[in-house]
A and B are shown apart, each in its own frame.
Chain A
Amino acid sequence: MSRTTAIAVRELSKTYKDVRALDNVTLDLEPDRIYGLLGRNGAGKTTLMSILTGQNYADQGTAEIFGHAPFEHDPTLSRICFIRESQKYPDDFKVHQAFKSAALFFENWNEELAQELVEAFELPTKRRIKKLSRGQLSAVGVIIGMASRADITFFDEPYLGLDAVARQIFYDRLVEDFAECPRTIVLSSHLIDEVANLLEHVIVIDKGRIVIDSDAEQLRGTAVTVTGDAAKVQEFIGSAPVIHRDALGALSSVTIRAKLDESQREQAKLMGLDLSPVSLQQLVVRSALSSVTEQGIDERTEARK
């Protein structure tokens, strides 16, 4: 890696009372890429982002942004933008006042882009933020995040309450603006299929631990679902690691972690087996579930399947 790392996390841990929110997290994020931070609610996504943006602090380990700890360090903080999913705004603020404030602090603030987005989201800028609907509130966060054009921008479940049209606008504009002005974007989400196409790199966090940290393209090819006669499926998959198994009478459908080459695909065809790609969402859900079983919490339910 010749370029500097945008975000470097080493053995980061954070505990809230009895919950281990982050458990020994180590990550490297390169600049100018779009990252997906995926995981269930309560998996530790927001905690991780809060620490990376200096809004919270870790119990153990280090987090560095462009080589510097962000906590209480203005020069580093000024390169980051992170609007929380549950962001609070001053009670008496109107929408345009929040943007005016953001324009003060984010040096790369693009007012034109902000205005375009206001129109696209049909946001009433003269209204008090307190009086906005959930979707409009999300739109305020999305606009600040996009228009700030910070070197590292975090979007924390940015689509909450947004309708399908507005969500599509967000995804389209994000890709457009990223092309025009590349920067590091971290998109936290649990609606994985919706954002799958945007992501260049996928990080999956579950119960505070990183379970997947992989290039999105690579990840898509790492698993496959084999469907057909149960005995033949078993013969075909051999000793490949099984992520998920479904059975219906003599038929079975098994998802395995394997990269198949041409001859293997040909063989599957000859054996009368169906091969289907695994969506990112399925892969993440299965990985999360299997990490549960590994810990032995849910072994019996999994075995019954």
Chain B
Amino acid sequence: MNRIIKVARMQLINKATFIGIPLMILGASFLFTLSIWWLVRRNGGDGELYGGGAQAPMWYFLALGIQALTVTFPFSMAMSISRRTFYLGTVALFSVCALILSVFYYLMGLLEVATGGWGTGGQFFALRWIADNSAPVQILFYFVLMVLLFMLGFLVATIYMRWRTTGMAVFFISLGLVVLGIIALFTFNDLWEQFWSWALTWSAAGVTLWGGLTALLMAGGSYLTLRKATA
């Protein structure tokens, strides 16, 4: 247990990676969005204003998942840490960071509503589709999304660490084939209209549930892959 916490501390030695950079990305995209909204309103634009900038740090988590592995894993081997301990420490640290950031999103959403969209009527944190849900669902939704992206990066990186280029080729070609197969299936059976109308019925809670399950599957997959990876 002790060593798992030490792994988290090792990942945090460079505070920018897990804390500084995500906050910087979020701050920058938020300020950019606000400036644009302000310009829009100033020029007499009306109607609803949405901003997708809140997802910006989440994409960084994809890169973080890859980086935590390809760069830190070989170093953790030199620190005489077992793969299991490395995995648990890294995932635990990330989960804590993601949870804090999710709560922050939720609180910023409340503030956004209270201030009338920062005085511009825009929606950055409190997108209505999400903000209409209860607090736990909102927080969990953000959390699952972040973990999902991190795990995706983590899984791809473990496959690389274990099977290198061959692993990457097999993984992405298989993924391509599966996606192509699904598209073909939908196209031949004229299922697209049905699919889109079904997609519109998705709720934030449903996405959270299925996203959470996918993240768990990926977490299991990357753990099993990492168990025999070499630096």
Chain B binds chain A: yes
Residues of chain B contacted by A106 (CB below 8 angstroms): 79-80
Selected from A88, A89, A100, A105, the residue in CB contact (under 8 A) with B80 is A105
Q: Name A91-144 residues within 8 Å CB distance of B.
A: 91-93, 97-98, 100-102, 104-106, 144
Are A80 and B78 in contact, CB atoms less than 8 angstroms apart?
no
Q: Does A222 contact B (CB under 8 A)?
A: no
Q: Name A146-200 residues within 8 Å CB distance of B.
A: 150
Output the least CB separation between A54 and chain B (Å): 7
A80 to B67, CA, bound (A): 26
Output the least CB separation between A153 and chain B (Å): 11
A97 to B83, CA, bound (A): 21
Interface pick from A1-9, A70-78, A224-232, A283-291: A70-78
Residues of chain B contacted by A78 (CB below 8 angstroms): 3, 80
Output the least CB separation between B137 and chain A (Å): 36
A55 to B226, CA, bound (A): 12
Q: A91-B71, A104-B6 are in contact. Are A150 and B80 (CB under 8 A)?
A: yes
Q: Does A244 contact B (CB under 8 A)?
A: no
Give the size of the chain A interface in residues (CB under 8 angstroms): 34
Output the least CB separation between B188 and chain A (Å): 42
Residues of chain A contacted by B74 (CB below 8 angstroms): 87-88
Residues of chain A contacted by B228 (CB below 8 angstroms): 57
Residues of chain A contacted by B71 (CB below 8 angstroms): 88-91
1/0 per residue, CB under 8 A from A, across B64-83: the answer is 00010001101101111111
A74 to B71, CA, bound (A): 21
Q: Does A253 contact B (CB under 8 A)?
A: no
1/0 per residue, CB under 8 A from A, across B1-32: the answer is 00100100110011011000000000000000
Selected from A88, A102, A105, the residue in CB contact (under 8 A) with B3 is A105
Give the size of the chain B interface in residues (CB under 8 angstroms): 26
Greatest chain A CB density within 10 A among B9, B74, B228 is at: B74
Are B75 and A89 in contact, CB atoms less than 8 angstroms apart?
yes
Residues of chain A contacted by B231 (CB below 8 angstroms): 55, 84, 88
Q: Does B120 contact A (CB under 8 A)?
A: no
Residues of chain A contacted by B67 (CB below 8 angstroms): 91
Are A97 and B14 in contact, CB atoms less than 8 angstroms apart?
yes
Are A53 and B80 in contact, CB atoms less than 8 angstroms apart?
yes
Q: Does A50 contact B (CB under 8 A)?
A: yes
Are B80 and A101 in contact, CB atoms less than 8 angstroms apart?
no
Greatest chain A CB density within 10 A among B10, B77, B228, B230 is at: B77
A114 to B203, CA, bound (A): 56
A91 to B13, CA, bound (A): 12
What residues make up the interface of A, taking CB atoms closer than 8 Å to B? 50, 53-57, 72-74, 77-84, 87-93, 97-98, 100-102, 104-106, 144, 150
List 24 A–B pairs whose Cβ atoms lie within 8 Å, in order of A's numbering. Answer: A53-B80, A55-B77, A56-B230, A57-B228, A72-B84, A77-B81, A77-B82, A78-B3, A78-B80, A79-B80, A81-B80, A87-B74, A87-B75, A90-B14, A90-B71, A97-B14, A101-B79, A102-B79, A104-B9, A105-B6, A105-B10, A106-B79, A106-B80, A144-B78
Given A74-B82, A90-B75, A92-B17; 11 other pairs, CB 8 A cutoff: A54-B82, A55-B231, A77-B81, A78-B3, A78-B80, A82-B78, A82-B80, A84-B231, A90-B71, A90-B72, A101-B13
